[in-house]
């Protein structure tokens, strides 16, 4: 069937990697104080929004295991609805899901951020980026960084963001096929929670790590096996609370050569690390078009 939506109707919803993830401590509300480098990728899901005056939010393609009312896309749209400057603002949302769920690459948070950024335009809410990031934070710690759409160091629970340009490397991202709950990892007694803070200026991949990696490897030997396989070819690490693992290359062809050798049990994608996310780029294009009208 022909795609009824034009290519211009789609808004990108990119993945991220945590190039490192340190846990410094725990706040009174149970959330953890982190330091991390969020690397935006040029690869991800995409969403399209068909607005109407129904006053309701519909999701056309439900996700297996996620009731529509709990889908972050629907929750984000409903949070924004009171800010719409259109009568009875409603929307049907199309979600083209490519990213594995629960993989530590931020798919759900990114979907929520794309929904906030796109509907802010389409419903004429006129909210600032800061206001959208604040709304996003109420949906999840990772949503604000996707709203801002820049590769950045993050502190606090992940919401204190310092944009930083990184070399735009190529990443082979491998999914061992395990769904890991972020809450389960952060709830683990054996999780290290006292890593000393680092100065952003002195960041190096080699001298940092992922404080969640060891317990995930202990609990899920498949992740340990995958890491052992990948480090033969390139510097590799788990992203977020897992389960995906990435290997870093300066050359796209090398990343694809290693991808071609991966055992069939693991799925993967190759993506470029970008300093500005495809969502931010799309927003700039949309704003430029409306400025010339």
Ligand X SMILES: C[C@@](CO)(OP(=O)(O)O)[C@H](O)COP(=O)(O)OP(=O)(O)OC[C@H]1O[C@@H](n2ccc(N)nc2=O)[C@H](O)[C@@H]1O
- Residues marked active site are found at 16, 142
Name residues whose C-beta falls within 8 Å of residue 185's C-beta, 6 or more positions apart in sequence.
191, 212, 215, 216, 241, 242
242: left (phi over 0), alpha (psi -120 to 50) or beta: left
Q: 267-286: which residues touch ligand X (CB under 6 A)? A: none
Q: 1-20: which residues touch ligand X (CB under 6 A)? A: 18
The site partner of 18 among ligand X, ligand ADP, none (C-beta below 5 to 8 Å per kind) is: ligand X
Note whether 109 binds ligand X by CB under 6 A.
yes
Note whether 183 binds ligand X by CB under 6 A.
yes
By CB under 6 A, name the one of 107, 140, 149, 273 that touches ligand X.
140
Residues in the chain: 293
Name residues whose C-beta falls within 8 Å of residue 69's C-beta, 6 or more positions apart in sequence.
75
Which of 118, 124, 129 lies closest to 95 in space, CA to CA?
118
C-beta closer to ligand ADP: residue 16 or 282: 16
Note whether 106 binds ligand ADP by CB under 6 A.
yes
Q: 188-247: which residues touch ligand X (CB under 6 A)? A: 240-241
Q: Is 110 annotated as a binding residue?
A: yes
C-beta closer to ligand ADP: residue 109 or 169: 109
The site partner of 268 among ligand X, ligand ADP, none (C-beta below 5 to 8 Å per kind) is: none
Note whether 111 binds ligand ADP by CB under 6 A.
yes
Taking residues 20 to 59 in sequence order and writing x for each that binds ligand X by CB under 6 A, - otherwise, the string is -x--------xxx-x-------------------------
Q: 61-90: which residues touch ligand X (CB under 6 A)? A: none
The site for ligand ADP (CB under 6 A) is made up of 63, 66, 71-73, 101-109, 111, 182, 240
The site for ligand X (CB under 6 A) is made up of 18, 21, 30-32, 34, 104, 106, 109, 140-142, 157-158, 182-183, 186, 240-241
Annotated binding site for ATP: 100-110
């Amino acid at each position: 069937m022909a795609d009824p939506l034009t290519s211009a109707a789609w808004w990108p919803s990119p993945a991220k990697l945590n190039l490192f993830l340190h846990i410094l401590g725990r706040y009174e509300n149970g959330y953890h104080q982190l330091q991390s480098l969020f690397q935006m990728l040029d690869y991800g899901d995409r969403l399209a929004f068909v607005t109407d005056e129904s006053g309701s939010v519909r999701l056309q393609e439900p996700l297996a295991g996620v009731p529509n009312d709990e889908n972050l896309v629907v929750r984000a749209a409903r949070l924004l609805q009171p800010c719409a400057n259109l009568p009875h603002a409603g929307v049907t949302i199309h979600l083209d899901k490519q990213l594995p769920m629960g993989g530590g690459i931020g798919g759900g948070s990114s979907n929520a951020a794309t929904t906030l950024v796109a509907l802010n335009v389409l419903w004429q809410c006129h909210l600032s980026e800061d206001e959208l990031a604040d709304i996003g934070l109420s949906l999840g710690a990772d949503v604000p960084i996707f709203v801002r759409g820049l590769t950045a160091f993050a502190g606090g629970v992940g919401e204190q963001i310092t944009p930083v340009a990184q070399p735009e490397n190529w990443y082979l991202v491998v999914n061992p096929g395990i769904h890991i709950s972020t809450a389960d990892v952060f709830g683990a007694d054996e999780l290290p929670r006292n890593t000393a803070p680092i100065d952003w200026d002195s960041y190096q991949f080699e001298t940092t790590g992922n404080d969640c990696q060891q317990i995930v490897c202990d609990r899920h030997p498949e992740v340990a096996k995958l890491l052992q396989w990948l480090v033969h070819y390139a510097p590799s690490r788990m992203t977020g609370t897992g389960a995906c693992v990435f290997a870093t290359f300066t050359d796209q062809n090398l990343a694809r050569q290693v991808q071609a050798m991966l055992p069939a049990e693991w799925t993967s994608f190759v993506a470029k690390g970008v300093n500005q996310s495809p969502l931010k780029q799309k927003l700039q294009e949309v704003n430029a078009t409306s400025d010339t009208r």
